A = this chain, B = another copy of it.
């Protein structure tokens, strides 16, 4: 303990003989310029704002040049700032990037410019949090790897909500190949759903350099709720290794998108009952080895299956889908997964008429071995394998399951009577070894199990060799990320503020702390200006039986509630009235850096231009309307401003339930996504148990509920009465959309378009 304190003091506060403490940019630049191997440049505690640090020089293996915080975490880099590193044996420690964004294309770049790149450089014990562009469509990467032998370790990185992978490893140029970069022991905290592509947490290479050898090592990291898009990690180069990472409740998969001969060994994919979006490993290309991985409660299907092996495009173009060949999937364990294995995912031979030939995925997996895997279900799941095409190129050997297999490929799995024991929330361990293992070509190289235990001593199917150490199965966040940082939220105490006038209301909204509830006494509130919502807040009538009325008299095109990034508004028991030219709810017109949420319950809305108007680049995670009445408005809910057809959309989840719409002149809902992108699975609409009447009269499209390009659409149990439209909704047949149990009186009909014509995105 004494020793530890000493070490801590030495590294954090001590000033050695080669140390230079700097207090401002000039001192910093001078120190960098004069640094020699062994120099330690110490940034004084405090806020370093609007600074672009160029850290260059040549240290040595024995004596790196170090740039560090005086106290780890007490040096914050804020504002419009970034850090570029060029040279060799340079090390950055203890910095905290927050309250800002980069003016360049990266927050931390492992190169100064195209000629001065980093080799043997390290960024460690740092945090980048919410350092996201104000406009979510503005693209950047938080960390770009260039050169060779660089390291990102023990960092906490979370909250990127703009376009672009959080980390990009570039392999363009021989000096960036065979890079052996280390991305280890980091904590990748929540990355919110982005809506559309370009929300990866790590991307290794790109399709243009996907022939290059990477040898990047991504190991021992925690990926927690990395929900940016369907790919948490997008591998696009060769020979990379992914070992012992924990994918914790992340809505996406580790995707072998391009590149070959990667190793995915000993990782945990942990899902839960709350989401169908959490995935496992999606396989494309050749020669990967997928071994010793543990999948728990992965509820994703198709692209997000625990194991999704795709069909390829014959002679695929470089940026599409190569055939899966020579892949080995061995010694993995799947517990309580909905779709443990899916083969020929993406097969779309039936689309030959509507898609270009180079989009048709008809090339089945070839020379692939799936052996010695174990599937365990607490509740019977007799359909563990879904195959979208013939499975004639896969050799199945010695896979076992604790129940019958009645799925598409019956011979692939043997039923064995065995049990597993719950050792933690998410870890189930074997109670004995299933020891009849198959040994394929080079299988002897799989020497250890998920926990590093030698396989040689005991023969065992599945990821774990019995017995498993009792200590396994705990997730201690302290094992990941920066030593000085914790992302455990302080519990906010809910506080209720009661208001009785427009002025009090405006003041309360402005000053409320996150989590506060504002209650309006009964009466009429004549509001002249928007209420700006930039935090989590609930606004409701104090008297549940008698709704307070907000009569909005603001400018035309303004709105009662103006949603800002991170705004999270719940409206309950209110009566919102407009003068026909304003909106009830709207987003800011720009700089919607992060998502917002909106929940409307037991509320009446009338007399508005738009009920909700979402501007371009805005994104709602969830919009929910329940038990409300919406009437006499020109437009309903508009989530249709992402019209570039690049796969983006304005809201992930839209729930409209148990509500009444009457006399909405245009569409009741306009919800749009454009661009052909087969891997997107949003947005999501539930329109249920509503009554819609006398609406759509002026809608130019003649469609009452517009959902073009939205993937998940459910319209059930509603009544449509006297709506003068041609169509209530147009379903996308390919996505199996169809109406269910609706009552239609004197309204348009439901239509279905089997294959949408969509703009190709690439």
Contact = CB atoms under 8 A, between A and B. Distances in A.
Contacts of A316: 317-318
Given A175-B441, A328-B174, A212 B287 contact: yes
A173 interface: yes
Interface in A261-290: 261, 285-287
Closest 4 A/B residue pairs (Cβ) = A315-B318, A315-B317, A211-B260, A175-B441
A211 B367 contact: no
Interface string A301-335: 00000000000000111111011011010000000
Contact of A261 (B175, B213, B260, B315): B213
A261 to B, nearest CB: 7
A618 interface: no
A442 interface: yes
Contacts of A315: 207, 317-320, 762
Nearest to A369: B174
B367 A173 contact: yes
A358 B317 CA distance: 9
A174 B326 contact: yes
Contacts of A174: 287, 326, 328, 367, 441-442
A326 B286 contact: no
Interface centre among A174, A322, A328, A358 (most CB of B within 10 A): A174
Contacts of A207: 315
A172 interface: yes
Nearest to A317: B315
Q: How many copies of this chain does one complex carry?
A: 2
A381 interface: no
A148 to B, nearest CB: 10
A704 to B, nearest CB: 40
A739 to B, nearest CB: 40
A286 B207 CA distance: 13
A583 interface: no
Interface of A: 172-175, 177, 207-209, 211-213, 238, 260-261, 285-287, 315-320, 322-323, 325-326, 328, 358, 367, 441-442, 762
**A261, A325, A326 interface centre (most CB from chain B within 10 Å):** A326
Contacts of A211: 211, 238, 260, 285-287, 322
Contacts of A177: 287, 326
23 contacts: A173-B326, A173-B367, A173-B441, A174-B328, A174-B441, A175-B441, A175-B442, A177-B287, A177-B326, A207-B315, A208-B323, A211-B211, A211-B260, A211-B285, A211-B286, A212-B286, A212-B326, A315-B317, A315-B319, A315-B320, A316-B318, A317-B318, A317-B358
Nearest to A327: B174
A304 to B, nearest CB: 25
**Overall SS of chain A's interface:** loop
Given A211-B286, A286-B212, A326-B177, A172 B317 contact: no
A419 B261 CA distance: 49
A286 B237 CA distance: 13
Given A173-B367, A174-B287, A208-B323, 4 more contacts: A209-B325, A315-B320, A315-B762, A317-B318
A326 B442 CA distance: 32
Nearest to A207: B315
Contacts of A328: 174
A285 B323 CA distance: 19
A175 to B, nearest CB: 5
A203 to B, nearest CB: 18
A690 B211 CA distance: 55
Nearest to A440: B174
A207 B442 CA distance: 24
A326 B205 CA distance: 15
A212 B238 CA distance: 10
A442 B173 CA distance: 12
A618 B152 CA distance: 65
A315 B209 CA distance: 11
A368 B367 CA distance: 35
Contacts of A209: 286, 325
Contacts of A260: 211-212
A619 to B, nearest CB: 30
A367 B287 contact: no
A372 B608 CA distance: 74
Contacts of A320: 315
A326 to B, nearest CB: 5
A418 to B, nearest CB: 30
Contacts of A173: 326, 367, 441
B286 A172 contact: no
Contacts of A325: 172, 208-209
A73 B324 CA distance: 46
A538 B525 CA distance: 115
Nearest to A174: B326
A328 B367 CA distance: 34
A662 to B, nearest CB: 51
A318 B322 contact: yes
Contacts of A213: 261
Contacts of A175: 441-442
